[in-house]
Structure 1
Amino acid sequence: MTEHNKKVALVTGVTGQDGAYLAEFLLEKGYVVHGVKRRTSLFNTDRIDHLYQDPHETERRFVLH
């Protein structure tokens, strides 16, 4: 897929049950997924830990904000 026709999705609440499911589903469909998590005192990313990629990778498909 070229740079111009990549499908990109923004998932708010990506660390929640529905957001984590949607992010994984979209990644399987070939999307680049940007996930927004709520700022809390706990860094609760258990549901998306398997999706997380090193921010230094050039071809990341999952970006956590």
Structure 2
Amino acid sequence: MVREIEIKLQQLLIDHKMTYQELSKITGLSTRAISDMVNNKQERILKEAIIKIADTFEIEDIREIIDFKK
């Protein structure tokens, strides 16, 4: 069985009415990196990026950001 990982950043942006550019300014991540995460094109995500996203959206459970696709 091949598992896939889902990055849930698009839904977080929608829920918080935030643009890529706004998230970029807050986190220091490039808009390109954010776009790649939203579109599940990024093969590796730095722990630092996950922490910045979690801090921005006040997330305690990493599964709100990244999880296995069902």
TM-score range, shorter chain: under 0.3
TM-score, normalised relative to structure 2? 0.26
Instruction: Give the structure with the larger helix fraction.
Output: 2
Instruction: Give the structure with the larger strand fraction.
Output: 1
Higher relative contact order (CA closer than 8 Å, sequence separation 6+): 2
